[in-house]
Structures are given as structure tokens and as C-alpha cells.
Amino acid sequence: MVKLTKKDMLHIAKLSNLELTDSEIKKFTPQLSKIVEYVSKLSEVDTKNIKPTFQVTGLTNVIREDKVLTQNMLTQEEALSNTDEYNGYFKVFAILENRTNE
Amino acid sequence: MNNIPLTIKETQDGLKSKKFNAVELVDSYLAQIKKYNNEYNIFLTVTEEEAYKKAREIDRKGSYATPLAGVVTAFKDIFLTKSVRTTAGSKILENYVPQYSATTVKKIEEAGGIMIGKLNCDAFAHGASGENSDYGPTLNPWNKEYVTGGSSSGSAGAVSANMSLVALGSDTGGSTRQPAGFCDLVGLKPTYGSISRYGVIAMSSSLDTVGTLTHTVDDMEIMYDVLKGEDGLDGTVKNSKAQIIKKSKFKIGIAKEYFIDGLDAEVEKTILEVKKTYEKIGVEVVEISLPHTKYMVPVYYIVMTAEVSSNLGRFDGIRYGFDRSKFGEEAKRRIMLGSYVLSAGYYDAYYEKAMRVRTKIINDFNDAFKTVDAIISPISPTPPFKIGENTNDPLKMYLEDVYTTTANLVGIPSLAIPSSFSKFGLPIGFQLMGPRFSEHQLFELAKKYHKEIDFKPRVAI
């Protein structure tokens, strides 16, 4: 029986860049445990000497000519049209914190 | 005009013979939307102004010569439409207005199609009932106590409620075929890589396909021929080199593994009746074996959630949309599961294992297609279920996908075909799967079936 712990859940949430509330953790823990348990039945399939399939069409390294496609370019104004811009730039979240004396 | 035509041919015949014009067609669909949309929650955005503009343009030209001239079309809200809000059924993209349109949207517009609006769906296409939409569920036009199926809930709702002649959806694990089956429509999940996904909000990149919903198989064929082909913008798309061979003798397989516990008796009966109908018209039906059928859902839920966790990583609230706290419950569950199966220490046991079992599943199908032209399968193990019936148990909802995920994992086309009605008056269909790029053969087989049962396109309201 797979039993995910609160610690597992917080680790997965961190990897997922999600902040979960306590009630979400309480709700998701048994649900995810049950689903992981269910998908674990794959372990009974013998896959020795079987290669994984990542792409069903067999196409590899599809490339195009290294040429600027102007019809697929956005103007600065268009690119910024869905966000709060600052002087023509995207605004990102702060990643550095104020220095403290500690 | 009195009755809205239910096929592309009837629509275009009417336009060409001046029985009605495109503006009058738009009037009729909008009247239906205004009458029922509040009740059934099918459209998230109605593009009335754009539709009239396009209709007037088509009427002005007056030739109606392009393949979709005058064909009113609605798009699942995960297709980017330039200057028209696109939400993916989620609150995170509530105010998102795309700067460009999907290739498929452009192709339909260039072929003379008229966009009438954007359709409700499970948020980010995560769901098998439409109930995961952040804008509320779509009610089934055949009976509003029931779900339309999902995730392309509004797509099936719009066509079966006569609010649009055709609709586009997406199909990652059944999201076009299952709602088509629940709403008495034809639904196509095409060969992986036959239709460009450029401008369609990605869910699971090795499984995602653009789906189409229509009333008839003839219309599906017209739509497929308009939509398919390389666009230079989606690197997975490949033009089929295969010749279309008109066969006169067909052989279809039914997998013995499909008759499992949990398969509803009425759905089973439908499949057996379909088999009889094919036999009656001289198609040989044989039993085949697809031994890895029971691993379909586990493989799917590992591959899909892994790819979801990666694709939804881009929603960080910087370039568009709100921040990640606005994700709904199901998106969070899937991102969490995907991160788990990809995480250090679990990758080999889950993700890579699933990719190996996927190879075995593909081998099963390659073997089967050595002896049969197509495979008959249920679409969903049950007829449509009631709203709220499955929402407390995500695993139970996932098992809805047992028959549909196959075509996505293997990359083959599958056509959902309307057939009969349950004792509660709800639609039951079936699906036909074929080898890669065998769409036209599936259309041929479906037309033979519909001819034999004298199928007539129907609308619910």
C-alpha cells in the first residue's frame, strides 16, 4: 500500500511550484496515494529488453532553416499586452531579498 | 429561416440556391445560443460581431465555393484566437487575449468558416465530464441532469444543441470522442501528427491531438481534409504519403479484453449490435487479443501527468495570466502527480516504466493491424452519468478513460460514431480505431454502418 506523507506532499508541492493549503494537503494526500497505488501495478509487466517510446511517429530532430520568420514575430507592445509592463519590460518576481545584518 | 441545416452540404446547397444567406444562418445560431446558453453553459464567449462581419463578407462574394463557406464553427476555449479571449476553462487565464490564432483556426477561417464563439471545457482539458471547468459544468442538451462528457464539453454541447454546425475540441485521452459519444455526434481523434497543434494550449505533448465534432461522417471527412497537413510551425506534423485505397472487403477486430467488469450492459449490447450490423453488410468481424489493455489507464496517467506538470510550468503569471494559486483542484492534482512520477528516485519505477509498457501496447496494436483493418471498441464503459455522480473519487473518474486512452498512447486515429440510445434516452456510440493515417478508411467503414442503420443527424433542443 502506497502511503504518501505530509513531508512527501510538501516536497512534491515544492517541485511543482505550488503552495498548497492545509486543507488541500489533507484532501490530496489520500487521493494521490490511491492513484499512485493504482498505477504501481505496472511493476508486474515484464519490460526487460523493451525500449521506451517517447515519440510515436519516429520523427527526430525536425529543424527549419535558420531564418527570421517575421510573420511569427510579436511587436513589443503585442508581447506585453497580457501583463503589467514596466517601461516596456516584463515584470518578474523578486528573487533577491534585502540584506540583513544577521 | 425555418430549420437550421445539419450538414455542410445542406448548408452550402441552401446558400448557393439562395434559400438563405450566411447572415441569416448566423441569426439562427445566435437565436439558439441566446435562448439556451444561460441554462446549459456551453459558450464562454460569443463572437457575435466577428461572426456577422465574416458572414457579410461571404455573402458579398456570393460564390460559396470554398470547402467550408458559411460553415458556422465554434472552438473549445484552448484554441488561441487572435483578439478573442481564451481561458482554457481556467480562472488563471480569465483575462488572456491571444496575440495570434492557432493554425487550425486560421485554416477554418481561410476555408470560409464562420467563428461564432469559444466553448466551455474542463480547465486545461483535464477531465472526462466537463465538471472541472472553473466556469461551471456544461449540461447535456439531451438531458440536463447529465454531463456532456469532457473535456470538450462545450464542443459537444454546442453541436448537439444546434448552436454551431461543427466544433473543434482536443483529444489527449478521449476528450473529443467521449463527449461526442455522450451527445450523439461524430468525433475524430486523428493520427498523432496529422493536424497541427500550433496555438492550442498544450496539455500532454506526446498525446495531444486536435479533435473535431460533427453531425455526420461526410462532414468529418470535409473537416479533416481542411485541417490536416504540415504548417511548418508544429514539428510533430507529417504529411501522409499513403495512398487512399478504396477497399471493397474489410475485416474488423473486437478485442476480448474489452469485455471487462464495469462495462455497462447497454454499452455491451450496442457493441454486439454494431458487430451484427457489420456482419450483415459483409464485413468480417473477428476476435483479437490486446493483452496489455488493463495497463492502459496506469500508463496514461503516468505519461499524461508527467507531461502536464511540465507544460503547466509556464503559467507563472509573468507574461500572461494570474499566478499559480489560481489553478483549480484537478490541475493541482495532476501537476503534483506528474512531479512525483518524474522526481529523483521514482523516475525509473514510474515514468520510464510507463514508457516501456507503452512500447508493448504499441506492439499489441501493430500485431493486430497485421490481420484486421480496424478495431471496434466502446468509447466509455458507461452511458452518460449524472452531474456530481463521480466527482468525489478522482480515480473512478480516471477509469472512464479505459477505452479511449489507447488511441492516444499508440498514436492512431479513432472515430467516435453515434449509434443508439440508452433506456434513459441518452446517446451511446462506439469507436473504430485504425492504423496510422487510416482516417479515410475509418470514414468509409462508418458511412457503411450509418447507411445500413439509416442514420439521420439529430439535435437535442
Predicted ipTM?
A: 0.93
- As a whole-number percent, the residues of chain B with pLDDT over 90 amount to 94
Is residue B457 one of the residues assigned to a domain?
no
B245 lies within 8 A of chain A by CB: no
The pLDDT of residue A101 is: 67
Give the pLDDT of residue A102: 58
- Residue B459 inside a domain? The answer is no
Domain presence at residue B461: no
Q: Which residues of B touch A47 (CB under 8 A)?
A: 353, 356-357, 359-360
Return the percentage of chain A with pLDDT > 90, whole number.
Answer: 71
User: In the prediction, which pLDDT does A98 show?
Assistant: 77
Give residue-wise pLDDT tens across range B152-186: 999 999 999 999 999 999 999 999 999 999 999 99
Tens digits of residue pLDDT in B385-430: 999 998 888 888 888 899 999 999 999 999 999 999 999 999 999 9
pLDDT in tens, B312-326: 999 999 999 999 999
Q: Which residues of B are catalytic?
A: 76, 151, 175
Region B233-248: mean pLDDT is 84
Is 0.90 topped by the overall pTM?
A: yes
Domain assignment of residue B458, yes or no: no
* Residue numbers in B near A79 (CB within 8 A): 99, 319
Q: Flag the least confident range among A93-102, B20-29, B170-179, B287-296.
A: A93-102
β-pair partners for B114 = B72
- Distance of residue A99 Cα from the nearest chain B Cα, in angstroms: 25
Residue A38 has pLDDT above 70, yes or no: yes
Phi-psi bin for A49: left (phi > 0), alpha (psi -120 to 50), beta?
left
Residue B2 belongs to a domain: no
**Distance, C-alpha B11 to centroid of its chain:** 23
Chain A residues within an 8 Å CB radius of B301: 35, 38-39
Evaluate if residue B20 carries a pLDDT over 70: yes
A vs B: CB pairs below 8 A: 143
- The percent of residues above 70 in pLDDT, for chain B, comes to 100
Give B354→chain A minimum CA distance, Å: 7
The count of residues in chain A is: 102
Count Cβ atoms below 10 Å from residue B366 Cβ, excluding itself: 12
What values do phi and psi take at B82, rounded to 5?
A: -55, 130
- The number of distinct structural domains making up chain B is 1
Cα–Cα dist A47/B387, whole Å: 40
The predicted structure's pLDDT at residue B56: 98
B160, part of any domain: yes
Show residues of chain A in contact with B337, CB under 8 Å: 32, 35-36
Q: Under an 8 A CB cutoff, do B232 and A9 touch?
A: no
- Tell me the average pLDDT of chain B: 96
pLDDT of residue B244 exceeding 90, the answer is no
Q: Is B72:B164 a contact under the CB 8 Å cutoff?
A: yes
CB within 8 Å: A38 and B395: yes
Under the banding of pLDDT at 50, 70 and 90, the label for residue B88 is very high
Q: Tell me the nearest-neighbour CA distance from A62 into chain B, angstroms.
A: 6
Segment B355-367 shows an average pLDDT of 97
Among B189, B356, B393, B396, the strongest candidate for a mutation testing the A interface, having the largest count of A CBs within 10 A, is B356
CB B3 within 8 A of CB B457: no
In this prediction, residue B68 carries a pLDDT of: 98
Burial class (CB in 10 A: 0-12, 13-18, 19+), B282: exposed
Domain contains B146: yes
Minimum CA–CA partner of B412 in chain A: A56
Is residue B449's pLDDT more than 70? yes
Q: Which residues in B333-346 are b (16+ Cβ under 10 Å) and which e?
A: bbbbbbbbbbbeeb
Predicted pLDDT at A51? 96
Q: Is residue B223 part of a domain?
A: yes
DSSP string, chain A: -----HHHHHHHHHHTT----HHHHHHHHHHHHHHHHHHGGGGGS--TTPPP-S-SS--------S---GGGPPPHHHHTTTS--BTTB------S------
Residue pLDDT, tens place only, A45-91: 999 999 999 889 888 888 888 999 888 899 999 999 999 889 999 99
Between residues B21 and A101, the one the model is more confident about: B21
Terminal Cα-to-Cα distance of chain B (whole angstroms): 17
Residue B265: partners with Cβ closer than 8 Å, 6 or more residues away: none
Q: List the CATH number of the domain containing B301.
A: 3.90.1300.10
Helix axes B353-368, B296-311, angle to 10 degrees: 130
pLDDT at position A58:
84
The partner residue sitting opposite A38, judged by closest CB among B298, B313, B320, is: B298
Q: For chain A, say whether B56 makes contact (Cβ under 8 Å).
A: no
The residue behind cell 522526481 is B343
Residue A99 has pLDDT above 80, yes or no: no
Question: Average pLDDT of B84-88?
Answer: 98
Is residue A31 over pLDDT 70?
Answer: yes
Range of the domain at B271: 8-452
Between CA B237 and CA A49 the distance in angstroms is 29
Interaxial angle between packed helices B265-280 and B439-452, expressed in degrees from 0 to 180 and rounded to the nearest 10: 90
